[in-house]
Amino acid sequence: MTAEAFYVDGVRVPIGRARDDGYYAHTRADDLAVRAVRALLERNPDVPRERIDDVVWAATAQVGDQGLTLGRSLAILAGLGQGVPGYAVDRMCAGALTAIVNAGNAIRVGAQDLVLAGGVEHMGHHPMGAELDPNPRFLADRLVDPSALVMGNTAENLHDRFPDITRERCDGFALLSQERTAKALADGVFDQHVVPTTVWSPDGWRVVDVDEHPRPGTTLESLSGLHSPFRPGGRVTAGNAAGLNDGAGGVLLASAAAVEEHGLTPKMRMVDYAFVGVEPETMGYGPIPATERLLARTGLTIDDLDVIEMNEAFAVQCVAFLDHFDLPLDSDKVNPYGGAIAMGHPLAFSGARLAMQLAAYLDRHSDAQRGLTTMCVGLGMGAAVLWERA
């Protein structure tokens, strides 16, 4: 017997580019998360800060300004009170999604009532892999192919595995991502969960209030001209892959009792989830078996899902998913607001954005009942979480 865990609200900062002149080049990662946490609670004034039972926060690089067990650091830095605990989680790209699942599970077993869950990744301060020391056995004992450790190469491997997925189809998917994101921005879809943030820059303090990554003027021509950096004759480009980004954000999850006590209006219910392991060399395949397992567990089919928020690490990974489930490239229910190719992918944070956008979609589509958030994960994993309108 399990209790229900509800998604109440979510907040994030605008996603920046991980560059020396990007939004957050001079801003600490933990300060970005503090901004999101405080804005989230400010928007939900009926939730007493000291009643938060836990702060579960993800980061892939848990060192420097993302170290010091982030969840607890945030509880102190954001002024939640000494009595609020917290911890850090890491499942690389699915970090925030894992944080949300953990938080939801704590509520589902009845141990906790109000939990903040989210993620942060400042890829400018923590370039991918820079602070890692992979065990030499991975390669020496041939546990994985060398290509498994470079995400772009795993995407090329996925192309090799599915020869029908051409660069043209991937560029087409990438263009769709840009177009859908541009439209969503124009429609103000993200306004409900993006907060303006004051940041330091060499020109003085400035305010960032819109994602830095999208390239609204993108065309197929411009995409097709891009160089493929991972191998000669490759198909993966900066245009049909997610970017290197900085971002942070999180969500508030609550039990039914907390919803009632504090008069909250939940948007979604966390139904079930699945994490799977796959070949590290084609980690982008992960969402397919993860979703299959989740559907099997819940007795649903892909048609029972009204909307799918899938992380766009690489277009090839998304197209493989669409092909597998016989969905068209421009399926209305997959990434209706575009995705990480346009918006950027600050690794461990991105899962929180998927949940926020799913909630935004349900808000705007009263006929939609059920949605999925799914991601591929480095070292060969897939993650899928099923949500229902509350």
The residues annotated as belonging to the active site are 93, 345, 376
**Least Å from the CB of residue 35 to other proteins:** 6
**Least Å from the CB of residue 194 to other proteins:** 13
Q: According to the binding rule CB under 8 A, does residue 188 interact with other proteins? A: no
Strand partners, 122: 246
- Kindly state the helix (H) or strand (E) to which residue 352 belongs, with its residue range: helix 350-364
Which of residues 196 and 229 has its CB atom nearest to other proteins in the complex? 196
Q: Which of 48, 50, 63, 79 binds other proteins (CB under 8 A)?
A: 79
* Cβ atoms within 10 Å of 208's Cβ, excluding its own: 20
In angstroms, the Cα distances linking 165 to 156, 159, 215, 235 are: 11, 6, 24, 10
**Least Å from the CB of residue 23 to other proteins:** 13
Q: According to the binding rule CB under 8 A, does residue 122 interact with other proteins? A: no
Residues from 15 through 74 that contact other proteins (CB under 8 A): 34-35, 38-39
**Least Å from the CB of residue 343 to other proteins:** 20
Q: Which of 63, 131, 134, 206 binds other proteins (CB under 8 A)?
A: 206
CA angle 101, 102, 106 (to 5 degrees): 115
Give CA–CA dist 84/258, Å, rounded.
16
Q: According to the binding rule CB under 8 A, does residue 381 interact with other proteins? A: no
**Contacts with other proteins: how many residues (CB under 8 A)?**
19
Q: Which of 134, 196, 216, 225 binds other proteins (CB under 8 A)?
A: 196
Q: Which of 1, 132, 140, 207 binds other proteins (CB under 8 A)?
A: 207
Give CA–CA dist 74/62, Å, rounded.
14
Query: Residue 257: what residue type?
Result: A
Q: According to the binding rule CB under 8 A, does residue 178 interact with other proteins? A: no
**Least Å from the CB of residue 248 to other proteins:** 13
Which of residues 41 and 148 has its CB atom nearest to other proteins in the complex? 41
Give every CB contact of residue 264 below 8 A, 6+ residues apart in sequence. 6, 8, 44, 46, 47, 254, 258
Q: Where are the beta strands (DSSP E) in the chain?
A: 5-12, 16-17, 54-58, 86-89, 114-122, 197-199, 206-208, 245-255, 268-277, 307-310, 370-377, 381-389
Which of residues 204 and 263 has its CB atom nearest to other proteins in the complex? 204
**Least Å from the CB of residue 122 to other proteins:** 17
Q: Using CB under 8 A, which of the segments 75-83, 86-94, 237-245, 374-382 binds other proteins?
A: 75-83
Residue 10: CA count within 13 A, CB half-sphere: 29
Give CA–CA dist 246/347, Å, rounded.
9
Strand partners, 42: none
Which of residues 78 and 322 has its CB atom nearest to other proteins in the complex? 78
Contacting residues toward other proteins, per CB under 8 A: 34-35, 38-39, 77-79, 195-198, 200-201, 203-207, 209
